Amino acid sequence: MGGDPSILIHNARVWPSADAPVIEDGSILVRDGRIETVGRFQARAGTRIDAGGALAMPGFVQAHVHLCQTLFRGAGEDMALLPWLRKVVWPMEAAHDRASLMASARLACAEMIRGGTTSFLSMETVRGTDATLEAVAECGLPGVVGHCLMDDTGGYPPLAVDIDDGLAECDVLADSLRGTPTLRLAVAPRFALSCSADSLREAADFARSRGHLLHTHASEQTSEIEWIRERTGMDNVRYLHECGLSGPDVCLAHCVQVDLRERALLAEAGTNVLHCPGANLKLGSGLAPVPEMLDAGIPVGLGADGAACNNRLDLFAEMRLAGLIQKVRLGPDALPARDIVRMATQGGAAAIGWGGETGVLEAGRRADLVLIDLDDLSILPGDDPASAVVYAAHPGAVVLTMAAGRVLYENGDFTTLDVGRVRRDARDQRRKLARRAGIGRG
């Protein structure tokens, strides 16, 4: 084997960012996991990849996902949020073991890699996050993995964990990630209804003292915000703010039900919002006021949420839905395709704390990119990249996914995953998990 580990992707239509023009017949030189050069140039490299005229763009940032829920796909259809959590999601999370967590994470990573996702922020469950981290590390997908905290589960003991134990576990997990720059830990109180006010404050203080991202769910449904108003006398976003959960190091998934005052508070604090249109539609939660939030200067990323409520982990589907739902709310020009691509790339990267690291193809950034076949029958003629990516493209059009300079997927083949095993384990572990949880036939 030669000694030159550099990779040159050439013969590509390079789209460096949502705001940049396409570079025809462009190239990208990658060395040591980072982008060295982007543009029209010739160079020697250890490995040459002919893109065949495909679109080369930043890999997608899946800004809200639950890897541990991928095995729950299809288990709780046509239910409202709070009963769905209580009767399906929580019992299945409580029934997870190491093997089922790893099978779930591998399946999630395989689906995300095939769909051009190159980094993610997830919320896992209250136990076993070490198994999830191990599976993600094997897959080679960069990510921020949230360890879930729940100390006040309203009479559902199996997932209740004392906050001090939960935070001690966060320290152990963060220690295990030293020397792995593509994986980070987030501190993730589940949502205001499953955490005491004291535990929210402790989690916020703890995360800040160690430089971890804070991640929670907020204002997904009216039933949830009514409960919180009853318990605290406050609107949810205000309550979270009072508990320390606001600011540039905080990621709030959903924010569907947020009024003008709450939006002003989010903007003022610089709190990040993670928009999940597919899950919001499927759980009947509503249509998030995304154009208004962007206009107010609130940073917004895009996510699928878990496979239990989407059911795909497909950023193409989320981009398309993000555009379509705003057309119904505010008219056809409410959220241009370019703005949606920005949310799915650099917007999401900034939201999850990787703003300078990924989301744009430029020298010095991590080499996280996707090649999309513009000759795909759903995409042709595909002249405008934003329109092609948001409204026409799909995971089947992804020809190559590279994360941190490593090709993870190329022409249907995975390089870090045995996809036959992923499939077998998904079926087998789902059956065992459903049996342990006492849910359906699995």
Separation between Cα atoms, residue 435 and residue 428, nearest integer Å: 11
Least spacing, CB of residue 66 vs Zn ion, in Å: 6
Least spacing, CB of residue 69 vs Zn ion, in Å: 8
The one segment of 2-10, 67-75, 297-305, 321-329 that binds Zn ion by CB under 5 A: 297-305
∠ CA(346), CA(187), CA(114), 5° rounding?
Answer: 45
Nearer to Zn ion by Cβ, of 89 and 370: the residue is 89
In terms of Cα–Cα distance, which of 137, 122, 119 is closest to 360?
119
The one segment of 71-79, 230-238, 299-307, 424-432 that binds Zn ion by CB under 5 A: 299-307
* Amino acid, single-letter form, for residue 93: E
Nearer to Zn ion by Cβ, of 305 and 314: the residue is 305
Nearer to Zn ion by Cβ, of 305 and 318: the residue is 305
Residue 427 neighbours by CB under 8 Å, 6+ apart: none
Question: Residue 413: helix, strand or coil by DSSP?
Answer: strand
Residues of this chain, 49-108, that bind Zn ion according to CB under 5 A: none
Separation between Cα atoms, residue 117 and residue 307, nearest integer Å: 15
Nearer to Zn ion by Cβ, of 310 and 416: the residue is 310
Least spacing, CB of residue 188 vs Zn ion, in Å: 10
Nearer to Zn ion by Cβ, of 305 and 339: the residue is 305
Task: Write out the two tokens for 399.
Answer: 């020809």
The one segment of 113-121, 151-159, 267-275, 304-312 that binds Zn ion by CB under 5 A: 304-312
Size of the site for Zn ion (CB under 5 A): 1
User: Maximum distance among all alpha carbons in the chain?
Assistant: 67
DSSP string, 274-300: EE-HHHHHHTT-----HHHHHHTT--E
Nearer to Zn ion by Cβ, of 305 and 368: the residue is 305
Nearer to Zn ion by Cβ, of 185 and 253: the residue is 253
Least spacing, CB of residue 309 vs Zn ion, in Å: 8
Residues of this chain, 199-218, that bind Zn ion according to CB under 5 A: none
In terms of Cα–Cα distance, which of 43, 38, 31, 42 is closest to 58?
38
Measured at CB, which residue is nearest to Zn ion?
305
Least spacing, CB of residue 253 vs Zn ion, in Å: 5
Phi, psi of 98 (to 5 degrees): -55, -45
Between strands 117-123 and 60-65, the pairing is parallel
Residue 224 binds Zn ion, judged by CB under 5 A: no
93, 202, 305, 357: which one contacts Zn ion (CB under 5 A)?
305
Separation between Cα atoms, residue 393 and residue 295, nearest integer Å: 27
Q: Where do contacts with Zn ion occur on this chain (CB under 5 A)?
A: 305
